[in-house]
């Protein structure tokens, strides 16, 4: 694409969220809340309203049947069945007759009547205290939304359905939107809100999609198909780039490619410091189809499998069998190397779109019904997952870890459910690894402060710095307005990390870090100097971390951490880390 010389260049500043440069046509994605109009219809026009309902039902039926066939072909019969349930909602005489009657009696338009009737059904089903029946509420919600879109002549497509080689520009995107993006279609991502550690951004990074977030007001100023560049290193969106800018970014892209090739050249070398300390570098993944990506970047197994991504974009809770197949695929791909499966961390910024009734709206979702709290309430969903993980453990070095543990009470409760599943499988004669390692994520300050107690009852710790920093510094990790206050180098963060590492080591267990801090080469020496044993990060970040580890000694890292612990501000510590990084990179790259 060439520059449009008739329009002058405009630069927007945001937060650099995923490295890389993208150039192409922008696609402005607005997720519209459907507004349902309400008006009176004259008596003689009411039969036409009823006919409109019939037409919309036929159109929706065609759409759903097409999706069902596609899902059946791509994912299998189990997943396709949900759409049979959706087709049955469309056949529901009660819903149709009641809507028709409402048009006759109230004299209102079909959209208003259909919306009122379907909302009544959704509420009634959602309130039933039965997992199966309350799930019907989400079926009706989904189908009703499609029918309303059809009535209003709007499309109800998802982001990925719209896209064809564009830079996506959105107010915000959900983690499931991000997970369903096609790398070849989404050249880059710009959002008006969000932060570096919001889950949609984490997904973009693992897909190597350059991203800039927190670009305020961008949606008011850019329209689809305009020429844009995004600079994921500096956090810039450049609208109508000039010829000079295009040339500058062309050269920068080449420079970055040379740097990346250099990192990749050493990717299969051992991850060992100059003074001989091995530092296992594992991968964070979201789906089983990322195994090859991990191998391409020489990840030593998986340190964090965010299993909730198997739940996010599907219309119902996945079955034990389908989860087992996903976990088994990953376990088998890595042989003896560990595959740490984190149990469900739904909630927060990751509600399950296919089952909204399970995630009622909350004022403070990050302090709310999330992760282990959700699992201990929905024990049947939890057990389905644990059974699937246990069965997969017969096929590799599977380990399990629980998210958002606040102290020993929750850890014991989670382990009790795990034991129940182990007993069940034993009775059924189903194979699983009997000495499966069980770890706890340390991402809530209360867990960090009771790390000595937790360490007595689990086999390893994995520190989730994304959440630990959020909860320790009281910074909502997805709020761009306070993103500048999210300081991984805050002295309190360093002290807390050191405390967890020391307590873990005193009890003889290993401590890894799987938050985004682990994949930032500027912080890698600091974490290792604080005594962290292993790091887990999104696969494309492994080569740079390894390159740096091979260029430094553990002795230097310890001195860096000691120096950092003596400082009193995050900015000073950041500078110290940056200096260490620059010096060692400059020396190693000549």
Catalytic residue set:
199, 514
Sign of CA dihedral 146, 150, 153, 155: positive
3-state secondary structure of 184: coil
The least distance separating Mg ion from the CB of residue 486, rounded to whole angstroms, comes to 14
Which of Mg ion, ligand PEP, none does residue 338 bind (CB under 5 to 8 Å by kind)?
A: none
> DSSP string covering 64-76, please?
HHHHHHHHHHHT-
Among 56, 472, 500, 514, binds ligand PEP (CB under 6 A): 514
Q: Which of residues 250-309 bind ligand PEP (CB under 6 A)?
A: 304, 306
Q: What is the DSSP letter of 301?
A: S
Angle between helices 554-565 and 491-506 (to 10 degrees): 130
| Closer to ligand PEP by Cβ: residue 290 or 345 | 345
| Closer to Mg ion by Cβ: residue 238 or 496 | 496
Which of Mg ion, ligand PEP, none does residue 111 bind (CB under 5 to 8 Å by kind)?
A: none
Piece in contact with Mg ion (CB under 5 A), picked from 96-104, 207-215, 436-444, 543-551: 436-444
| Closer to Mg ion by Cβ: residue 61 or 199 | 199
Which of Mg ion, ligand PEP, none does residue 515 bind (CB under 5 to 8 Å by kind)?
A: ligand PEP
Which of ligand PEP, Mg ion, none does residue 317 bind (CB under 5 to 8 Å by kind)?
A: none
| Closer to ligand PEP by Cβ: residue 110 or 340 | 340
Which of ligand PEP, Mg ion, none does residue 353 bind (CB under 5 to 8 Å by kind)?
A: none
The least distance separating ligand PEP from the CB of residue 216, rounded to whole angstroms, comes to 24
Q: Which pair of tokens denotes residue 311? A: 């739940």
Task: Collect all residues with Cβ–Cβ distance below 8 Å to 101 and sequence separation of at least 6.
Answer: none
First CA to last CA across the chain, in angstroms? 35
Q: Which of residues 301-360 bind ligand PEP (CB under 6 A)?
A: 304, 306, 345
CB burial of 299-330 (b: ≥16 within 10 Å; e: otherwise) equals bbbbbbbbbbbbbbbbbbbbeeeebbbbbbbb
Q: In whole angstroms, what is the distance from residue 474 CA to residue 486 CA? A: 9
The least distance separating ligand PEP from the CB of residue 214, rounded to whole angstroms, comes to 18
Binding status of residue 176 toward ligand PEP by CB under 6 A: no
| Closer to ligand PEP by Cβ: residue 227 or 516 | 516
Kindly compute the dihedral angle of the four CA atoms of residues 517, 521, 526, 531, in this order, to the nearest 10 degrees: 80
* Count of other CB atoms within 10 angstroms of residue 391: 24
Q: Which of residues 453-472 bind Mg ion (CB under 5 A)?
A: 464, 467
The least distance separating Mg ion from the CB of residue 365, rounded to whole angstroms, comes to 13
Among 443, 480, 556, 574, binds Mg ion (CB under 5 A): 443
Question: Distances from the Cα of 261 to the Cαs of 366, 477, 503, 550, in angstroms?
Answer: 39, 32, 39, 16
CB 504 within 8 A of CB 511: yes
Which of Mg ion, ligand PEP, none does residue 520 bind (CB under 5 to 8 Å by kind)?
A: none
Binding status of residue 519 toward ligand PEP by CB under 6 A: no
291 φ, ψ to 5°? -55, -40
The least distance separating ligand PEP from the CB of residue 465, rounded to whole angstroms, comes to 5
The least distance separating ligand PEP from the CB of residue 573, rounded to whole angstroms, comes to 19
Q: Which of residues 464-503 bind ligand PEP (CB under 6 A)?
A: 464-467
Q: In whole angstroms, what is the distance from residue 83 CA to residue 75 CA? A: 13
Q: Which pair of tokens denotes residue 512? A: 């890894």
| Closer to ligand PEP by Cβ: residue 26 or 403 | 403
Question: Distances from the Cα of 409 to the Cαs of 373, 384, 434, 459, 497, in angstroms?
Answer: 12, 22, 23, 16, 22
The least distance separating ligand PEP from the CB of residue 369, rounded to whole angstroms, comes to 15
Which of ligand PEP, Mg ion, none does residue 514 bind (CB under 5 to 8 Å by kind)?
A: ligand PEP
Cα 129 from chain centre: 29
The least distance separating ligand PEP from the CB of residue 508, rounded to whole angstroms, comes to 24
The residue count for binding Mg ion (CB under 5 A) is 3
The residue count for binding ligand PEP (CB under 6 A) is 10
| Closer to Mg ion by Cβ: residue 199 or 297 | 199
Piece in contact with ligand PEP (CB under 6 A), picked from 52-60, 359-367, 462-470, 504-512: 462-470
Which of Mg ion, ligand PEP, none does residue 139 bind (CB under 5 to 8 Å by kind)?
A: none
- Number of H helices and number of E strands within the chain? 24, 16
Binding status of residue 443 toward ligand PEP by CB under 6 A: yes
The residues that bridge with 186 in the sheet, in sequence order, are 166
CB burial of 74-87 (b: ≥16 within 10 Å; e: otherwise) equals eeeeebbbbbebbe
CB 200 within 8 A of CB 174: yes
Which of ligand PEP, Mg ion, none does residue 306 bind (CB under 5 to 8 Å by kind)?
A: ligand PEP
Q: Which of residues 537-566 bind ligand PEP (CB under 6 A)?
A: none
Q: In whole angstroms, what is the distance from residue 524 CA to residue 557 CA? A: 9
Q: Which pair of tokens denotes residue 56? A: 């919309």
Q: In whole angstroms, what is the distance from residue 13 CA to residue 22 CA? A: 15
The least distance separating ligand PEP from the CB of residue 379, rounded to whole angstroms, comes to 22
Question: Distances from the Cα of 201 to the Cαs of 15, 197, 204, 242, 351, in angstroms?
Answer: 11, 7, 5, 28, 16
The residues that touch Mg ion, with contacts defined as CB under 5 A, are 443, 464, 467
Site residues for ligand PEP per CB under 6 A: 304, 306, 345, 443, 464-467, 514-515
């Amino acid at each position: 694409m060439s520059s449009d010389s008739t329009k002058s260049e405009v630069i927007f500043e945001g937060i650099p969220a995923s490295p890389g440069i993208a150039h192409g046509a922008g696609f402005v994605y607005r997720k519209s809340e459907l507004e349902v109009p309400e008006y009176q219809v004259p008596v003689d026009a009411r039969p036409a309203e009823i006919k409109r309902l019939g037409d919309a039902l036929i159109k929706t039926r065609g759409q759903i049947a097409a999706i069902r066939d596609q899902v059946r072909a791509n994912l299998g019969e189990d997943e396709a069945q949900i759409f049979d349930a959706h087709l049955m909602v469309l056949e529901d005489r009660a819903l149709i007759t009641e809507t028709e009657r409402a048009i006759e009696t109230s004299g209102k338009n079909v959209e208003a009547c259909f919306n009122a009737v379907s909302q009544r059904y959704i509420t009634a089903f959602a309130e039933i205290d039965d997992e199966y029946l309350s799930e019907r509420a989400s079926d009706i919600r989904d189908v009703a939304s499609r029918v309303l879109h059809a009535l209003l002549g709007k499309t109800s497509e998802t982001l990925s359905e719209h896209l064809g080689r564009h830079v996506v520009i959105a107010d915000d995107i959900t983690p499931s939107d991000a997970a369903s993006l096609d790398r070849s279609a989404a050249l880059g991502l710009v959002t008006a809100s969000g932060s570096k550690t919001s889950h949609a951004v984490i997904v973009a990074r693992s897909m190597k999609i350059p991203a800039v977030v927190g670009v305020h007001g961008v949606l008011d100023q850019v329209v689809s198909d305009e020429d844009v560049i995004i600079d994921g290193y500096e956090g810039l969106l450049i609208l109508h780039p000039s010829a000079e800018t295009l040339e500058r970014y062309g050269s920068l892209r080449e420079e970055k490619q040379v740097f990346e090739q250099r990192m990749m050249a050493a990717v299969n070398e051992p991850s060992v410091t100059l003074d001989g300390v091995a530092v296992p570098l594992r991968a964070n993944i979201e789906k089983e189809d990322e195994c090859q990506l991990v191998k391409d970047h020489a990840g030593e197994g998986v340190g964090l499998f965010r299993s909730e991504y198997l739940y996010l974009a599907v219309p119902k809770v996945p079955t034990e069998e389908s989860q087992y197949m996903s976990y088994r695929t990953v376990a088998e791909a890595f042989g003896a190397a560990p595959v740490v499966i984190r149990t469900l961390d739904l909630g927060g910024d990751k509600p399950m779109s296919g089952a909204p009734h399970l995630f009622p709206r909350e004022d403070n979702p990050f302090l709310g019904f999330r992760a282990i709290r959700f699992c201990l309430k929905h024990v049947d969903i939890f057990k389905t997952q644990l059974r699937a993980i246990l069965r997969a453990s017969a096929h590799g070095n599977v380990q399990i870890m629980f998210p958002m543990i606040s102290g020993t009470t929750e850890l014991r409760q989670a382990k009790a459910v795990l034991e129940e599943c182990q007993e069940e499988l034993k009775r059924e004669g189903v194979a699983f690894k009997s000495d499966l390692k069980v770890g706890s994520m340390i991402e809530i300050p209360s867990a960090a402060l009771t790390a000595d107690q937790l360490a007595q009852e689990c086999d390893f710790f994995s520190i989730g710095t994304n959440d630990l920093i959020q909860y320790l510094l009281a910074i909502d990790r997805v709020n761009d307005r306070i993103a500048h206050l999210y300081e991984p180098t805050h002295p309190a963060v360093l002290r807390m990390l050191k405390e967890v590492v020391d307590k873990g080591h005193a009890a003889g267990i290993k401590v890894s870090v799987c938050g985004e801090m682990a994949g930032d080469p500027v912080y890698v020496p600091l974490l290792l100097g604080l005594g962290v044993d292993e790091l887990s990060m999104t696969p494309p970040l492994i080569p740079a971390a390894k390159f740096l580890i091979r260029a430094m000694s553990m002795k230097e890292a310890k001195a860096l951490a000691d120096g950092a612990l003596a400082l009193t501000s995050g900015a000073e510590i950041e500078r110290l880390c940056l200096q260490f990084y620059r010096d060692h990179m400059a020396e190693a790259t000549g």
